[in-house]
Each structure stands twice: as structure tokens, then as C-alpha cells.
Amino acid sequence: MEKNNFNQQKVNKHYKRIELELQKGKNKLNNFTVVFFHGTNHATHKYNYTFVDGVKVRKNYFLDKLDSIANLFLYDRPEEMLRFNYEQGKSNCQVNYIANTIETHVKNLHKFLSNEKVEGPYVLVSHSIGSLYALKFSQLYPKETKHVFLIDPIQFTSKIAKMYFNSTKLSESEISDHLEVINSPKSKKVTVEKSLDALDSTTYSIPYFKPIIKCPLTTFFNVNTNDYTHDNLTVPYITELEKYNPTMTNYYFYDRDHYLNETNPQGIVTKIKKELQIT
């Protein structure tokens, strides 16, 4: 029993539920929970706003709209808390780097949901690299996953994984050196950014896994008609997703932005409701 209590305390220490002031939704009686997985270097609270050149210009209410569907669970991956605290001018003296693999991250998240009594089934809504965490969660906990939504996910084919996600991971001593740089008030911004990027390279060195899931899958892709990203990367990835999930649904938005939550928040949420058969 003592060991279980220790593990629970350890998980609760690193995983924190984010509470935002959101508009009250109308569909709170839906008997599932929406879990949101953010993208790389983009904290969850930012998804409720539109940014231009990195500057917040207005609220887009994307998270409010998600919250109108059902109970909404928000969190930031603890592997990126060092960066998020640094961006907000918060101290990192009591924060350590959590060298999770994608699998240990998802298992710890599941423990946290259980500890916090966040009940399933879960509807997983994800953006960018967060899509990998949503897919892995649904693979490990298929009976608890109702639906997976991928918003402009990274095109995680085996080829892309080999190119970008199998870099050599940092050693413990190297991680310690980077933490010292990040925590030192004497460190220059450019130096801190290099250390944060180095930690990211370890966090997101994710080995390829087949996107096989047992629940419904829906994707939203931005199609840039001015380059060949769609033909060279997106189409092969969709082909692979459909190979393992033949009943999946795809939606396309043309010449919008990678952050589709900013350019068409209502359109995405309307389609999520449609797929979940919510009126």
C-alpha cells in the first residue's frame, strides 16, 4: 500500500490539471470526458487564443467550444513545463525534466486521470505531435477510448519517424547540465533556448509505431496549395492511417494554418459534434 501511495504522489506531482475560466457549456450531461493533447512548445491555454507572429491578438474560444461538448480535461505535458515556466517568467528551481517515453507518459497520464477521478470514456482531441499521444493512449486503453480526433497531426509514417524522431537521447549528465543552464539567472536567453531545444529533442525522439486503434478516428488537415506538403507528406500518412483504420473520416481545410483552432475553431468543433452525433 505504501508503494502505491508513493507512486500516486509522484504522478500527481508532475501532472497538473489546468483550470481555465471557460464559458459554461450546454451539453455537460454527455457521459464522457474530452481530453486535449497540445502540440510541441504550445501550452494548452494558448489554444483559446489567436496569435500573429507570436503575439496574442484575440480570443478564439476554441477551448470554450470544446468545453460545451462535455467535461473537458486540460493539462500540459510535464516534459515541457521547464519551457512553459520560462516563457511565463516563472521559476524553474523546483522543476525537473521528466524523461518520459511516450508510453510511460501515457501510462502516468492514465494514472493521474484515475487519481483525480476523471471518468471515461474519453474522447481524445489532439493537435500536431499531441496526436501521437492520443493514438498511443487509445492503443493502451482501447476500452476507455470513445473517439480520437487528430487536428493537423504530424505525418508520422515510418520514413518521417526515422528522419526526425530517432535522434540519440541525452545522457543523465547532459540533462543535468542543461537544467543548470535553464535554472541559472546568469544564462542568456539564446543559451537557455538551446538547452530547452536539446531537452525537446529527447522528449520527442519517438520511435515509429503503427497507428492501429479500435475506436472511430477523425482527422482535420490543413492543405497548403502553395507547396507540396500535402502530396508528399499528408497523403502518404492518410493512406497509412486508412490502411489500419478503414472507416476513419477526414476533413480538409485549404490554405488556413497549422493551428486550425485559430483559423476555424467553430468549424472544427461543429464537425467533432457531428462525428460524436451530438446535436
Domain membership flag for residue 164: no
Looking up cell 493512449, which residue turns up?
Answer: 137
- CATH number where 59 lies: 3.40.50.1820
The number of folded domains in the chain is: 1
Identify whether 161 is part of a domain: no
pTM over 0.85: yes
Decide if 143 is inside a domain. yes
Amino acid letter, 111: K
Long-range interactions of 115-120: CB distance < 8 A, separation 24+: 115/8, 115/11, 115/12, 116/17, 118/17, 118/33, 118/71, 118/73, 119/33, 120/32, 120/33, 120/144, 120/145, 120/146
Q: Please check whether residue 186 lies inside any domain of the structure.
A: no
Lowest mean pLDDT among 41-45, 62-66, 93-97, 263-267: 93-97
Per-residue pLDDT of 181-206, as tens digits, reads 998 989 999 999 999 999 998 898 89
Q: Quick check: is 206 in a domain?
A: no
Q: Is residue 194 situated within a structural domain?
A: no
Q: What SS3 state is found at 273?
A: helix
Distance CA(252)–CA(106), nearest Å, equals 28
- Residue 70 belongs to a domain: yes
Asked if residue 125 is part of any domain, the answer here is yes
- Structural domain containing residue 272: 2-155+214-276
